[in-house]
Structure 1
Amino acid sequence: MITCKRLSQCTLQDALIAWNKGFEGYDFDMTLTLEAFLNRLVFENLSPALSILAFDGTEPVGLILNGVRSIDGKNISWNGGTGVAPAYRSKGVGKRMMEEVLSIYEKEGVHTATLEALSHNNRAIKLYEKMGYQTADQLVHLGYSAPLTLDPPALTHDIHWEKPHNLAEHSFCSRLIPWQVQWQNIRDGEALLAVEKGKTIGYALSKRKYDEQGKLSGILLFQCEAHPEHENKEDVLKSLLHEAFAFSNKADISRTAVNFPRAHSVCGILEDEGFIVKAEQVFMVKEMTA
């Protein structure tokens, strides 16, 4: 008999077993150490009190990690990982866990539930659709690992480097975006503001990674937007990309655009520069309350 418990009521070892078993055979190696699992909870703002483990007797056979935060006065939840041990797949364990999670969302006053799933993971997508989720967007990860040559356009604006939390007051686009690219999850990143005549006309959110010798090894881009009313949005985006991705640095480092909508102008600009699609996901949403 399958039972569910809050992660906060379980041992960390059981949670780690559930994670590593739950993601066996996944497209990417998702195996974690205990330290890496704890870091994932912390850095992605996931809540042990709102996350669940599934058990067959005393054996952990699945889990769903969850986070909830308030955005514009509404509680938004995120499913930060659903995994089921191989021997228990297609046996209703995922559905059982999702029912438990949706019950938790209701108790927490969640307005909108969100998640991402790999685009070709039809089994998972069908389960989420049965639970009331709908696909809101198609997402891509774009990557490139060679020197870049994009020349910045002639600028009529300045670029200001700020802390990520400053985007909270400057963002002029939808706040309902994938959890992992929200500024709250990029605390050690950098916000770039394009400012023209005292007005913010665009922004980007990025993070630089360094190796053990302190050398720049990679750059992640999470958001990049131009003001929808600006007359030359593409130039604003290109100037932000030039700064965020250190185009003037010809070093052979990894550069990745994370979870961008497939139809976003940034994708076209980067693909013209040689970036390629590394992964595709769907962004799914379920409206819980009116």
Structure 2
Amino acid sequence: MITIKRLSECSLQDAVHAWNKGFEGYYFNMTTTVDLFTRRMILEGLSPTLSIVAYDEDKPVGLILNGVRLIDGKKVSWNGGTGVDPEYRGKGVGKLLMDEMLAIYEEEGIDVATLEAIKENDRAIKLYEKMGYKVVDNLVQLQHTGSLSEKAFSTETTFTYRRGIPIDASTVPFYKSMVPWQTQWNNARDGESLVAVDESGEAVGYAIYKRHFNDEGKLVALILFQCEAAPEYENKEAVVKALLHEVYGPFDIEVLRSAGNISATNEILRKFLKIEGFEVKAEQVFMIK
């Protein structure tokens, strides 16, 4: 008989076992450890009291990780990972987990439930749709390894910049708040923000990004969370190129440059990244209930 417990009632070893078995044979290697699992929960704002683990007697066989934030006055949840042990797939465990998760959402007064799913994962997407979720956007993760041309993202239009921390970007009038969880300003821990300002002093674009350094203090990755131009600004392309020029420089160093979960609607950003040789790492759908 399958029973479901809150993650806060389970051992970390059980949660990690459920995760590793649940994502066995996944599109990417998702194997984790207790330390990495704990770090993920903290960095992604996931809640042990709202996350759940399924058991067959004493054996952990599935889980769903959940997080909740207040966005624009609404309680918004995120499904940060749903996995079921291969031996238990197709036996209704996933639906039991989803039913319990939605019951928790109702109990918590959740206004909007969100999740992302790998575009090719038809089985999961169909389950989510049966539970009331709808695909609202297509997302792509792009990345580039190595150096870039010194002329990358060059533009003749100049802007001044307000540099700050991620939350600063959320204060511009056109900040996009209802975006995939991992691209929200809250997830850019130790990150930076860049607001482009035109000659009149108006904010015309923003970027949220993070520079990642290894233990020796060497820059190893530049991660872009969001990059947007003001909807009413005439020369949006110049804004996006200028922001990318600031975020991804200096270009002569060989590091991993990435941009995660870019919306299909952000055609300008996708275009300029692909021009500079960024390649598709993964594609997902963004779903909302």
Does residue 65 (structure 1) correspond to residue 65 (structure 2)? The answer is yes
Name the residue aligned to 1:35: 35
1:278 pairs, out of 277, 281, 287, with 281
* Matched residue type, 2:27: D
Flag structure 2 segments of 5+ consecutive residues without an equivalent.
none
Name the residue aligned to 2:99: 99
Tell whether the 8 Å contact from 2:78 to 2:113 is kept in structure 1 after alignment: yes
Alignment of 1:38-187 (within 5 A): 38-149=38-149, 150-187=152-189
Residues in 1 aligned to 2:280 and 2:270: alpha-carbon distance in whole angstroms = 9
TM-superposed deviation, 1:70: 0.3
**Matched-pair identity in %:** 54
Query: For residues 14-70 of structure 1, what are the alpha-carbon distances to aligned partners after superposition, in whole Å with 9 as ceiling and x for unaligned?
Result: 111111111111111111110000000000000000000000011100000000000
Residues in 1 aligned to 2:176 and 2:136: alpha-carbon distance in whole angstroms = 12
Residues in 2 aligned to 1:151 and 1:32: alpha-carbon distance in whole angstroms = 37
Residues in 2 aligned to 1:102 and 1:141: alpha-carbon distance in whole angstroms = 28
* Matched residue type, 1:260: I
Name the residue aligned to 1:242: 245
Flag structure 1 segments of 5+ consecutive residues without an equivalent.
none
Please state whether the residue corresponding to 2:115 is helix, strand or coil: strand
Name the residue aligned to 1:267: 270
How many residue pairs get matched?
A: 285
Name the residue aligned to 1:201: 204
TM-score (normalised: structure 1): 0.96
Which shows bigger deviation, 44-53 or 265-274? 265-274
Residues in 2 aligned to 1:154 and 1:199: alpha-carbon distance in whole angstroms = 19
TM-superposed deviation, 1:151: 4.5
Give 4+ residue runs of structure 1 displaced > 3 Å after superposition: none
TM-superposed deviation, 1:263: 3.6
Residues in 1 aligned to 2:278 and 2:69: alpha-carbon distance in whole angstroms = 32
Tell whether the 8 Å contact from 2:240 to 2:269 is kept in structure 1 after alignment: yes
Residues in 1 aligned to 2:269 and 2:103: alpha-carbon distance in whole angstroms = 38
Query: For residues 171-206 of structure 1, what are the alpha-carbon distances to aligned partners after superposition, in whole Å with 9 as ceiling and x for unaligned?
Result: 514321000010011121010110122211100011
TM-score (normalised: structure 2): 0.96
Please state whether the residue corresponding to 2:21 is helix, strand or coil: helix
